[in-house]
Structure 1
Amino acid sequence: MEAERSKEEIQAETTKRKTAEEGIEKDDKSTEEIKESSTDNLEETESDQDEDSQVYGPPELPPMPWFGMDIGGTLSKLVYFEPTDTSETEQETVTNIRRYLTNNLAYGEHGHRDGDKMLENVTIKQRSGRIHFIRFPTSQMHAFIDLSKEKGMAHTVSTVCATGGGAYKFEKDIYRELNMKLYKFDELDSLISGLRFIAENNREEIYYWQDPLNEEKAHKEIYDFKDPYPYMLVNIGSGVSILAVKSPTEHVRVSGTSLGGGTFLGLSRLLTGCTTFEEALTLAAHGDNKNVDKLVKDIYGGDYERFCLPGDIVASSFGQMSFNEKLASVKKEDLARATLMMITNNIGSIARLCCRGEGIDRVIFVGNFLRINTIAMKSLANAMEFWSGGAMKALFCEHEGYFGAVGCLLELMKTH
C-alpha cells in the first residue's frame, strides 16, 4: 500500500490538480471517466497489495462529506461517512452537516438514523471514521430534498454516489433543487461489495438463529464469514433478487420474485387498514395465520407421511377464507400474519430451489424487509434447516438493508 502522505502534500497536489483542470465542466465527467481516473496509480501500488484484498479510495480522494445512497422502490437508504481525522479546512466544510446528522435520530417526520447500527473505526483508504445509517420512505423523496435544501447541503455537497431505481427516477429533481450530481452504480454490484466491506469491518455482522421456533431458547449465533464463497444472496426489498456469488468478482442473478416486502406492505394495507411497515409487523406479531391458511392436517387429518409433510405446515395460503364462517370471524392481526407467512414461505421455497440447482449450501438473506422482522427471519431459518435435513442454515445480517448504499459509495472510490 502506498506511503501515507502529509496533509500539506495532499493540499498542494489538490491545488495543482484543480489549476490544471480549470475550465473543464464537472458535469461532463461520466461515471466511467471517474472510475478510470481512480486507477491512475494502480501499477505503482499493485505490487504492494495482497491480490485478494480490496483497497478503497483513489490516491486523491473526493472532498468531504461522503454519502452513498440506495433509492429503492419502497425505502431509501443513506450512509454518511463521518471522518474522525479531519483537517481544519475540512472541519469548516463538514461541521454543520456533521452536527445535524449525528446529533439527531429523526429528520423531519419520516427520516430516521439507526443509531444502533453505527460502525466505528472504519478505514476507507487512509481516512478513518465512522459510518452512519439513515432511512426514509422513498415516497417522501421530495420532503427529503426540501429538508436537505433547508440544511444547506446544496452548498456543501456536490456529488453523491447512488444506486437503485430511484437514482434514475429522481436524478433530475435532485440536480435541479440541490445542484447535486448523482453518480450511479449497479445495485447488485453495490450490494455485494457493501456486504463484503461491512462483514470485514464487523466480525459480528453475519449470524443465524439457533432454535428459531422455540420462544425460550431462540437466540442469535455469530457465523464465521472468513471463507464465504460460494454463497446464495437473497435480497428482499420491494421485490426479490437471488444471486449466486462465486467470488468477489463473480456473481450472477439466478432468480427472483415480484412477491417481496412491497407486496407484504401493500396487501397488509388493503386487508387491515394499517399504514406503515412497522404497524403491519405489530399486527402480525399478535395474529395467528392458522385462522386464515389451510394446513396439511386440514386436508389429510394429520401428517402427509408419504412425503414427510408435517400436518401443521401451510398447504394453501388464505385457504380458510373460502369458508363463510372463517371469513366472518377472522381478525386483522390474523390476516397480517398470514400475509407475512405467505411472502416468507414463497421466498424461502425459491431460495432453497436455487441453492439446490446451483449446488450451494450457504444462503444469506438481506434487505429491509427483514428489519425488525424476527417473525420472517425465524420462519426462514426453520424452513431452510427443515427442508435441507439440517444441512443448511439461513444466515442474516445486522445491517440488512444498507449494503447497496455502502457499496455504491465504495464503487466510486475503489481500486483493485
Structure 2
Amino acid sequence: MLRNTAGIDAGGSLIKMVYQENGRMHFKKFPINEQDSAISWLKMSVPSLKVSLTGGKASVIQKKYFPESQIIPEFQATCEGTRFLLEAENKTIEDNYLIVNIGTGTSWHVVKGDKAERILGSGIGGGTFTGLGSLLTKVRGYHQLTCLAEEGNKGHIDMLVKDIYESAEGPINEELTAANFAKGNRLKHSDADRLASLSNMIAETIVLLTSQAATIHQVKSAVIIGSATVGNNPLRQALKSYMNMVGVTLVFLEKGEYCGAIGAHISV
C-alpha cells in the first residue's frame, strides 16, 4: 500500500500543509500558534504519513512531532514549489525571472533556467501589515485589517506628488507618494486611511526593491508568492499598478502561499 505523503512549511506566522491522498493534492493552513491542533488534525485525517518539512520552525516541528522526517532547505523548497505551480497552473513566463515571496517578511530569488538563488530580503511584509496595522488602529486579525484597508484613502495620510506641485504640472505621476504618512499630524483621517497608507507603503517598498533586482539581474518578470497577498486586494492592486509603471510583468499564483510546502512535499 502506498503511504500518504505531506509537505509542511512552518513559518513565522502560519503552518501550511500540502498532502497527497489517492493521487490528489490537498492544502491546509493554521496559525503557527495552533501547531498542536494542526498536527493532530493532519495525523487524524491522513494516517501513515511520510513527511518533509521546511521553514524557520521546521526543526521544532521535526523534534516534537515527526522525528523521522527530513528537512528541506527553505529557499530550495520555495523555488521548487514555484516551478511546480507555474506548470500546474499553466502560467506562461520567461526562463529567467524573479520570485518575490511576501510572507511575514519578504524574500527575493532570481531564477535562471535550472538555477535559483536568493538575492535579497526585507523585514517589510505581511507581518508589518498585521503588526503595525494593529498598533495604528487597535484592530486585530488579518481579515479585518485587509477589509478596513480597502475602505481607506491613502491620500488622507500620504503626501502625494500633486500635494507638492498643487496647480503646477509635476514631473511624474501626480498620484505617486512623495512622503509616506507625511499628513499623519492632521486630525481628519480614519483607521481605514491609516491602513490604506500602510498597505501602500509596503507595496511601494516591495516594488522598488523588485525593480532594482530586475535591473541588476536583467529579468523582466516576477512571480509573486506568499501569504501576505491572499485576500489582500489593496496590496495586490498596488503591486500590479506600480510594477506596471516600472516595467516588470507580474504573475500571481493561485496557490502561491503553499510554494514552500509544495517544494517540501515533492522532495519526499
How many residues are treated as equivalent by the alignment? 268
CA-to-aligned-CA distance 1:79-125 (integer Å, 9 cap, x gap): 11121xxxxxxxxxxxxxxxxxxxxxxxxxxxxxxxxxxxxxxxxxx
Say yes or no: does 1:164 pair with 2:55: yes
Shift of 1:187: 1.4
User: Distance in 2 between the 1:393 and 1:302 partners?
Assistant: 33
Q: Which residue of 2 aligns with 1:110?
A: none
User: Distance in 2 between the 1:309 and 1:169 partners?
Assistant: 49
Shift of 1:344: 0.9
Counterpart code for 2:89 = N
Residues 346 and 277 of structure 1, relative CA distance in 2, 3 Å threshold: same
Q: 3-state SS of the aligned residue for 2:109?
A: strand
Counterpart code for 1:339 = L
Counterpart code for 1:397 = L
Is 2:6–2:49's contact at 8 Å kept on the other side of the alignment?
Answer: no
For normalisation by structure 1, the TM-score amounts to: 0.61
Shift of 1:334: 0.9
Q: Which residue of 2 aligns with 1:393?
A: 249
User: Distance in 2 between the 1:236 and 1:303 partners?
Assistant: 37
CA-to-aligned-CA distance 1:34-85 (integer Å, 9 cap, x gap): xxxxxxxxxxxxxxxxxxxxxxxxxxxxx421111111111111011121xx
Q: 3-state SS of the aligned residue for 2:267?
A: helix
User: Distance in 2 between the 1:409 and 1:184 partners?
Assistant: 11
RMSD of the TM alignment (CA)?
A: 1.9
Counterpart code for 1:136 = F
Shift of 1:200: 2.0
Say yes or no: does 1:241 pair with 2:97: no
Q: Which has the larger radius of gyration?
A: 1
Shift of 1:158: 5.0
Is 2:16–2:258's contact at 8 Å kept on the other side of the alignment?
Answer: yes
Residues 152 and 299 of structure 1, relative CA distance in 2, 3 Å threshold: closer
Q: Which residue of 1 aligns with 2:175?
A: 312
Match of 1:353 among 202, 212, 219: 212
Q: 3-state SS of the aligned residue for 2:175?
A: coil
In the TM superposition, 1:153-232 aligns within 5 A as 156-157=47-48, 159-175=50-66, 181-203=68-90, 206=91, 224-225=92-93, 228-232=94-98
CA-to-aligned-CA distance 1:219-248 (integer Å, 9 cap, x gap): xxxxx24xx310011111111111110012
Residues 304 and 171 of structure 1, relative CA distance in 2, 3 Å threshold: farther
Q: 3-state SS of the aligned residue for 1:242?
A: strand
CA-to-aligned-CA distance 1:274-306 (integer Å, 9 cap, x gap): 22111110010111111111112222325764x
Residues 174 and 343 of structure 1, relative CA distance in 2, 3 Å threshold: same
For normalisation by structure 2, the TM-score amounts to: 0.93
User: Distance in 1 between the 2:81 and 2:41 partners?
Assistant: 27
CA-to-aligned-CA distance 1:316-340 (integer Å, 9 cap, x gap): 111101x3xx2x3221111111111
Shift of 1:157: 3.1
Say yes or no: does 1:287 pair with 2:152: yes
CA-to-aligned-CA distance 1:154-198 (integer Å, 9 cap, x gap): xx33531110001023332224xxxx5331001111111112222
Is 1:303–1:311's contact at 8 Å kept on the other side of the alignment?
Answer: no
Residues 76 and 234 of structure 1, relative CA distance in 2, 3 Å threshold: same
Is 1:301–1:311's contact at 8 Å kept on the other side of the alignment?
Answer: no
Structure 1 gaps, min length 5: 1-10, 12-62, 84-128, 207-223
Shift of 1:361: 0.9
Counterpart code for 1:316 = A
The alignment-based identity, stated in percent, is 28
Q: Which residue of 1 aligns with 2:162?
A: 297
Counterpart code for 1:348 = V
Q: 3-state SS of the aligned residue for 2:256?
A: coil
Q: Which residue of 1 aligns with 2:132?
A: 267
Structure 2 gaps, min length 5: none
User: Distance in 1 between the 2:25 and 2:167 partners?
Assistant: 52
CA-to-aligned-CA distance 1:367-409 (integer Å, 9 cap, x gap): 1111122221221111111123xxx322211112011111111
Say yes or no: does 1:70 pair with 2:9: yes
User: Distance in 2 between the 1:152 and 1:265 partners?
Assistant: 31
Q: Which residue of 2 aligns with 1:108?
A: none
Which one scores higher on RCO, CA 8 angstroms, separation ≥ 6?
2
User: Distance in 2 between the 1:303 and 1:402 partners?
Assistant: 47
